[in-house]
Amino acid sequence: MKEKFYITTAIAYTSGKPHIGNTYEAVLADAIARHKRLLGYDVYFQTGTDEHGEKIELKAKNNEKECQEFVDEVSDEIKNIWKKLNISYDKFVRTTESHHKEIVQKIFKKLYDQGDIYLDNYEGYYCIPCESFWTESQLIDGKCPDCDREVELRKEPAYFFKLKKYEKELNSYIKEHPDFIYPKIRENEMINNFLKPGLEDLCVSRTSFKWGIPVPFDDKHVIYVWLDALTNYITNIGYDPDDDNETFNKLWPCDLHVVGKDIVRFHTIYWPIFLMALGLPLPKRVFGHPWVLAGAEKMSKSKGNVLYADELCDKYGVDVVRYCYLHEISFANDGTITEDILIERNNSDLANTLGNLVNRTIVMVNKYFDGKVMRNIEDNPLDNDLRSYMESLNEKICQKMDELKIQEATELILTACRKCNKYIDENEPWALAKSEEKMDRLNTVLYNLIQSIRIIAINLQAFLPDTANKILKLINIDDKTYISSKQFDTDSDEIRTNKEEILFKRIQ
Ligand code: MSP
């Protein structure tokens, strides 16, 4: 039986069209999910939209729409962007679906009945965009410490969750599971900024607006949007506090939550504590990825520096956008994406290095050998070096992927392309083609290049699936398995090429 791998993204707010920062995560998680599938895992990849809360209620009102109509439209728009970006999710969840709402209410009731949720009064400073309450001492210059926007003083009766009760257990869990919060820098942030100062009980209901899931036994209150949103990871795979469920038992605990660094706090403090209270095992890993910046700053509509992934895909092609996401942002540090960077990467890495390698190799096979190269293994140091490098490529990529260093994995592919281009320069096939007695050597050189391109394309599938498939089609390869990429030669003695095709056009 295949081992399961359950991976999720955060669910995006339906407050408006997501910018390239929000969509980055979907591509990142998609590359990991595709990679795991290629390794033979039974992958379940879940993403979706987070549709409740005051911010969304206000947005709908500003757009003169009913809340449900508004979130239906935005959720569809997000789904379309995911489609354009080639996100291979298995399930797209929505928090306004009735099944999710029903289970969230059951969870709230269970936690209340067992004494983990209690009614009290809340007085504090509320930040609407972040849907977060802050104490006066947490404010920075009187503003929200997360987003630097204005906050309002509010007092309201509210339900509270006993976070403090589970603090010790969470601290021990984090200590005993060094892989839980990734990378280390995020774990340190959580420990220093939240766990060391100590946790306060968490306000988990609101009365100041209506657009949310009602508290089942007190409908003046709606359930705090983060309690509603976080539980999407279990409500949609069959969790029910009153029933055992086979799918849930198979998929839970989640193997990897992929979330932005700004919401690691919710996923590594609140979420594990909710799960502890429900008596459920905790997720194996939370990957807090860095931010995508547009220029020197975080993207935001109010700053007017927003780029949208679907527009960039239309302009430059989906794999150029995917490539820049994966190659420009490291696992720990923020990275920048601008149109200039997209053009530069398209021209240098994709058109000149990868595209040119594939194109000129196929052109030569078609021109000198009528589209067919034959296996011929020579004991030549240049060939031996290329062969052993290519045979180890998959292992090196897998190592990087295990460490979630996706940028470095994509760079290995580029290095492999550069190695092939160097091999071309060293062997000068155009010079070999000039003399009849060097045709055997020319065949060997081109055969080695085609096999290397096959191995590169197989490894490229997780990152740029369309391009990888195009290349494999050009050289008539059906076996796209990772295992096959660990062997330099294929079973067949010959490889046939089709008419060459430009993979990436240079952009002026
Ligand atoms: N709805 C919450 C998540 C709930 S998960 C149970 C949310 N939504 S969001 O739309 O604001 O963000 C979606 C994801 O995009 C989050 O993981 C967030 O951290 C990430 N990003 C938002 N802006 C980003 C960048 N500029 N760069 C990279 N990721 C960023 O938070």
Segment 213-266, tens digit of pLDDT: 999 999 999 999 999 999 999 999 999 999 999 999 999 999 999 999 999 999
Residue 508 has a pLDDT of: 86
Mean pLDDT calculated for residue range 457-481: 98
**Cα separation of the two ends of the chain:** 51
> How remote is the CA of residue 263 from the centroid of ligand 1, in Å?
7
Please classify residue 69 by burial: count the beta carbons closer than 10 Å to its beta carbon, then call 0-12 exposed, 13-18 middle and 19+ buried. Answer: exposed
The best mutation among 7, 22, 78, 269 to test binding of ligand 1, ranked by most ligand atoms within 8 Å of the C-beta, falls on 22
User: From the alpha carbon of 23, which atom of ligand 1 is closest?
Assistant: 15
- Residue 156 φ/ψ, nearest 5 degrees: -155, 150
Q: Ligand 1 pocket, 71 CB below 6 A?
A: no
Q: Report the chain's mean pLDDT, rounded to a whole number.
A: 96
Q: Ligand 1 pocket, 259 CB below 6 A?
A: yes
Rg of the chain over all Cα atoms, to the nearest angstrom: 26
Q: Could you identify the residue written with the tokens 């530069």?
A: 344
Residue 301 has a pLDDT of: 66
Q: Which domains does the chain have, with CATH numbers?
A: 338-496 (1.10.730.10)
Q: Ligand 1 pocket, 25 CB below 6 A?
A: yes
Chain Cα centroid distance, residue 425? 37
Q: Ligand 1 pocket, 334 CB below 6 A?
A: no
| Rounded Cα–Cα distance for residues 377 and 216 (Å) | 72
User: From the alpha carbon of 13, which atom of ligand 1 is closest?
Assistant: 10
Q: Return the SS3 of 475.
A: coil
Segment 112-156, tens digit of pLDDT: 999 999 999 988 898 988 888 888 888 999 999 888 999 999 888
Please classify residue 178 by burial: count the beta carbons closer than 10 Å to its beta carbon, then call 0-12 exposed, 13-18 middle and 19+ buried. Answer: exposed
Mark residue 64 as left, alpha or beta (left: phi above 0; alpha: psi -120 to 50; beta: remaining).
Answer: left
Residue 131 has a pLDDT of: 80
In 3D, which of 33, 14, 22, 7 has the Cα closest to residue 406?
A: 33
**Residue 502 token pair:** 């430009």
User: From the alpha carbon of 292, which atom of ligand 1 is closest?
Assistant: 27
Residue 298 has a pLDDT of: 65
Q: What is the DSSP code (8-state) at residue 135?
A: -
Task: With a cut of 70, say whether residue 330 has pLDDT above it.
Answer: yes
**Residue 308 token pair:** 């949208």
Q: What is the DSSP code (8-state) at residue 207?
A: S
The best mutation among 74, 263, 270, 306 to test binding of ligand 1, ranked by most ligand atoms within 8 Å of the C-beta, falls on 263
Amino acid at 336: T
CA dist list (Å): 87 to 259, 394, 467, 494? 16, 22, 15, 35
Of residues 444 and 294, more confidence is placed in 444
Q: What is the pTM of this model?
A: 0.95
Chain Cα centroid distance, residue 220? 37
**Confidence band for 295, pLDDT divided at 50, 70 and 90:** confident
Mean pLDDT calculated for residue range 107-116: 98
Pairing of strands 256-260, 4-9: parallel
- Polymer length in residues for the chain: 508
Mean pLDDT calculated for residue range 385-395: 98
Segment 159-198, tens digit of pLDDT: 999 999 999 999 999 999 999 999 999 999 999 999 999 9
Residue 132 has a pLDDT of: 82
**Residue 476 token pair:** 């008539």
> How remote is the CA of residue 391 from the centroid of ligand 1, in Å?
38
Task: With a cut of 90, say whether residue 444 has pLDDT above it.
Answer: yes
In 3D, which of 101, 58, 113, 74 has the Cα closest to residue 223?
A: 101
Mean pLDDT calculated for residue range 52-70: 96
SS (H, E, C) 357-375: HHHHHHHHHHHHHCCEEEC
Q: Ligand 1 pocket, 229 CB below 6 A?
A: yes
User: From the alpha carbon of 299, which atom of ligand 1 is closest?
Assistant: 26
CB 322 within 8 A of CB 463: yes
CA dist list (Å): 401 to 98, 177, 290? 37, 20, 16
| Rounded Cα–Cα distance for residues 465 and 451 (Å) | 19
In 3D, which of 441, 438, 474, 481 has the Cα closest to residue 459?
A: 481
Q: Ligand 1 pocket, 228 CB below 6 A?
A: no
Residue 88 has a pLDDT of: 98
**Residue 136 token pair:** 């006066």
Residue 426 has a pLDDT of: 98
Atom 26 in ligand 1: residue holding the nearest Cα: 21
